[in-house]
Amino acid sequence: MPTKKDSKGGLQDVVATTSAICDLDGDRGMLSYCGYDISDLATCATFEEVCYLLWHRRLPTRSELGDLQSQFSTAAPLPEQILRIMRSLPPGDGMDALRTLTSALAHYDHEAGDTSAPAQYRKAIRLTAKISTIVATWGRLQISGGSIAPDPALGHAANFLYMLTGQRPTTRATRAFDIALILHADHELNASTFAGRVTAATLSDIYSAAVAAIGALKGPLHGGANAAVMRLLLEIGEDASNEQIDQAIKSKLNKKEKIPGFGHRVYRTEDPRATHLRQMSRELGEESGHPGWFKVSERIEALVKAEKNLNANVDFYSASTYHALGISIDLFVPIFAVSRISGWTAHILEQYGNNRLIRPRAEYIGPEYPQQFVELSQR
Q: What residues are labeled active site? A: 264, 315
**Bridge partner residues of 33 (DSSP):** 22, 36
Backbone angles phi, psi at 92, to 5 degrees: 165, -155
CB-based contact 310:304 (threshold 8 Å) = yes
Give the Cα separation of 306 and 250 in Å (integer). 11
DSSP-based three-state secondary structure for 82: helix
Cβ burial of 100 (10 Å; 0-12, 13-18, 19+) is middle
Q: Give the Cα separation of 197 and 143 in Å (integer).
A: 35
Strand partners, 31: 24
- The strand pairing partners of 30, in sequence order, are 25
Cα 91 to Cα 86, 134, 141, 223: the distances in Å are: 10, 14, 9, 20
Farthest CA pair distance, the chain: 78
Contact 159, 132 (CB under 8 A): yes
Helical packing angle, 292-308 and 314-324, nearest 10°: 170
Nearest Cα to Cα of residue 55 among 127, 104, 133 = 127
* Beta-strand runs (E) in the chain: 22-25, 30-33, 36-37
